[in-house]
Structure 1
Amino acid sequence: MSNSQTIPASASPTASSATTGHLAFAPAVFWQWLAGPVWLLAALVTWKLPDRDDFPDTGQFAFLLFAVGLCLLALTAIGRLRERAPWALVLGLGLGAWEVMQAKFLLLPRPFFGTPQDLLDVFLTDWKRLGDSLLHSLLLLVIGYVSGSVLGIITGVALGRSHHIRYWVRPIMRLIGPLPPVALLPLTFVIFPSTRLAGEVLMALAAGFPVAVLTWSGVSAVDHAYYDVARTMGAGDRFLVLRVALPAATPQIFVGLFMGLGASFAMLVVAEMLGVKSGLGFYMQWAQGWAAYPNMYAALIVMSLMCTTLMTLLFKLRDHCLKWQKNGLKW
């Protein structure tokens, strides 16, 4: 018997990775033990080297770097850092280099490039306005995205199930759907009584078109044998839609939801910058007008965290609804 026959398939790394469908990233051990010291070194440089100007919160920023360095060392000691260690190391190096280049030597042009302590000062002193802008953006986004997604799913199911609806609605979708929603911004500001309502309508349009098209595709792709079997057991149209068409089209629906969420993010920023007088987009426009670039960067960070959190929640919902595809795609 050959050696290849005596080795179990489960013991082969190649066979294991082929079974799981992806390879796990396992960084070297030294990455883990370097991450914490790099942050501690950045804290020491921030504290000891003199600033080239009167920058706020240098001591607080040094303490923050020091605290993160200690946390990273603790996580390394208990084996919880592992694959995130390279990112922790690179972030520590980046913050330390930024501090040295700008706060200690002023190598980057001001006011376009602030210092890390400038950014920290924005979060410490202007957190109320940032939080209020975040709440306004979330409310605007949720109303527009959810309404557009619901209408998109209803439209997609109707297009996939009815020839009459497809005859009348399909030309309208082909005419309006491919248009960038931002191109309709001046028109919607005239038609609707408030700029906020206009922004919600445009976000609904941005989310609804991809959701409708992919829902339609998923419903149309359902095997007709499923419908025939359900009808022989006495199922009505409502059962066919809710228990046959929608579950079978769920993977395509989630693809449309992801695409619609990305389009809604883009439309949110444009609407808040050009018309809606609230939210993170408006805050960024205000900061740029006053040359308060640290405030603008802080708003960008908050917006990025908001977007990635919503996308993560949508992935969690997808994994819950599509448990058989749970490990197929990671966010």
Structure 2
Amino acid sequence: MINQIKKILPILAVAITLICHLFIEDSGQQKKTSQPYFTYFLITVLVIYAVLYIISFFNKKIDKKIIYKGGFYAGVIFFLNILNIITLKYAFLPKLFFPSLDRVLGTLVEDRIFLLECIVYSLKLLFKGFVCGGIVGFITGILLGFSKTAGYWLNPVTRILGPIPTTAWVPLALSTFPTSYSASVFLIAFAVWFPTALMTSSGIHNTSNAYFEVSRTLGASTLYQVFKVGIPNAMPNIFLGIFYGTCSSFITLMTAEMVGSSCGIGWYINWQKQMMVYPGVYAGLIIIAVICTTILTLLFKVRDRILVWQKGVIKW
């Protein structure tokens, strides 16, 4: 009985929110949108959840998930209801800085083509910087972990440059590189490089010497010890470094785009803020949240598939 109530809670929350939205009179202080986007949003959520609710009777996995998440989903809908009431219905908050949900959703729909261009630009920038920083960081970590000579030269560099916040390099990067795009790629790569290098070398150093001794006794070459002993043992640390680097790269991406770019989600948010169009600011923040969450979720899916024995150590 309790489980069924948990499953129905989101449906009740959407119904109550719809009633409040449709029957409470607007304050008239918020700018009207061309379409009732919040109503469409609630109906879409209701339809999707109703389909999942029906499927849950035949699928135990979905049934368990919506029972567990039902309270949270209902809480989110109620939060949106309260936010809609205090912004659109009664205008308790300054209308300039706190637009109605209709206006935010309207921006996502009406500016979707331009927003898609900004998303593609940001993802390209993030991908190039992430790949470059990840590769260099991985190689640096291997050198630090296996070579004393490399460690002699690289350790001081990583200890001095690594802790410096990436955003502190923005003025220098913009004045050094020929374009703001290449400067942004460098900044993102730098943000990924240090945590990847640090955690890779740490994982290799934490590998038991007994593994290397056994492999040498069996005639393993240096390359075999690197790729078949050291790196596999360091994989949990490597993924942890990639996770830290990914989080840092998001911050760097937004900063770089806001300061020296002519496109991208970070640039879009800054542009909308300068134009005092705050529905666009919130729309950009929603997009960033979705992109970051999706990338991190995919990253952890890959980690769980590769490191089956490590599943559950760090959850996302």
Q: State the TM-score, normalizing by the size of structure 1.
A: 0.87
The aligned amino acid for 1:294 is P
Tell me, yes or no, if structure 1 residue 83 matches structure 2 residue 68. Answer: yes
Match of 2:36, SS state, is helix
3-state SS of 1:330 partner:
coil
> What residue in structure 1 maps to residue 24 of structure 2?
49
| Aligned counterpart, 1:226 | 211
Which residue is equivalent to 1:278?
A: 263
Distance 1:202 1:60 in 2: 38
**1:296-311 residue pairs with structure 2 within 5 A?**
296-311=281-296
The equivalent of 2:161 in structure 1 is 176
Q: Measure how far apart 1:231 and its partner are.
A: 2.1
Query: Are the structure 2 counterparts of residues 330 and 96 from structure 1 closer, same or farther at C-alpha, using a change threshold of 3 Å?
Result: same
State the partner residue of 1:40. 15
User: What CA distance in whole angstroms lies between the structure 1 residues aligned with 2:121 and 2:155?
Assistant: 34
User: What is the alpha-carbon distance in structure 1 between the residues aligned to residue 114 and residue 8 of structure 2?
Assistant: 39
| Cα distance, 1:78 vs structure 2 | 4.7
Question: What residue identity is the alignment partner of 1:208?
Answer: W
d(CA) in 2 for partners of 1:197, 1:326: 37
Where does structure 2 lack aligned partners over 5 or more consecutive residues? 57-62
Q: Give the secondary-structure state (helix, strand or coil) at the position aligned to 2:7.
A: helix
Task: Tell me the number of residue pairs that the alignment of Structure 1 and Structure 2 aligns.
Answer: 305
Say if 1:74 and 1:316 are closer, same or farther in 2 by CA, change over 3 A. closer
**Cα distance change on mapping 1:206 and 1:59 into 2, 3 Å:** closer
* TM-aligned CA deviation for residue 169 of structure 1: 1.0
CA RMSD, aligned part only?
A: 1.7
Shift of 1:47: 2.2
Distance 1:316 1:33 in 2: 30
Q: C-alpha distance in 2, partners of 1:136/1:122? A: 19
SS in 1 for 2:168: helix
CA shift digits 1:84-109 (9 cap, x unpaired): 11111111111212222221221111
Alpha-carbon distance in structure 2 between the residues aligned to 1:169 and 1:43:
60
Report if the CA contact (8 A) 1:40-1:66 is conserved.
no
Of 242, 254, 257, the residue aligned with 1:269 is 254
Which of the numbers 80, 103, 124 marks the counterpart of 2:109? 124
Sort the Cα spacing of 1:63 and 1:209 in 2 relative to 1 into closer, same or farther, 3 A: closer
Identify which range, 116-125 or 64-73, moves more after superposition.
Answer: 64-73
- Assess, with a 3 A threshold, how the Cα gap between structure 1 residues 106 and 58 changes in structure 2: closer, same or farther: farther
Retained in 1: the 8 A contact 2:37–2:106?
no
What stretches of structure 1 of length at least 5 have no aligned partner? Answer: 1-26
**2: distance between equivalents of 1:137 and 1:159?**
32
The answer (yes or no) to whether the contact 1:76–1:82 under 8 Å persists in 2 is: no
The letter for the 1-side match of 2:117 is D
Runs of 4+ residues deviating >6 angstroms: none
Note if contact 1:57-1:117 (Cα within 8 Å) is conserved in structure 2.
no
Change (3 A) 1:162 1:220: same
Using the alignment, how far apart are the partners of 1:145 and 1:86 within structure 2?
37
For residues 106-148 of structure 1, the C-alpha deviation after alignment (integer angstroms, 9 at most, x for no partner) is 1111110000100111011101111111111111111111211
Q: Give, in angstroms, the shift of residue 320 of structure 1.
A: 1.3
Supply the distance in 2 between the matched residues of 1:290 and 1:330 (Cα, whole angstroms).
Answer: 39
Q: Secondary structure, in 3 states, of the residue corresponding to 1:114?
A: coil
**Deviating more after overlay: 270-279 vs 100-109:** 100-109
1:1-331 correspondence to structure 2 within 5 Å? 29-53=4-28, 54-57=31-34, 59-79=36-56, 80=63, 81-331=66-316
Structure-1 residue corresponding to 2:59: none
Residue-by-residue CA offset, 1:271-309 (whole Å, 9 max, x unaligned): 001112211110000000111101110000000111111
Deviations 1:13-36 (A, max 9, x none): xxxxxxxxxxxxxx8542322220
Task: Report the Cα distance in structure 1 between the residues aligned to 2:239 and 2:81, rounded to whole angstroms.
Answer: 41
TM-score (norm 2): 0.91
SS in 1 for 2:130: helix
AA aligned to 1:39 is V
Maintained 8 Å contact 1:55/1:103: no
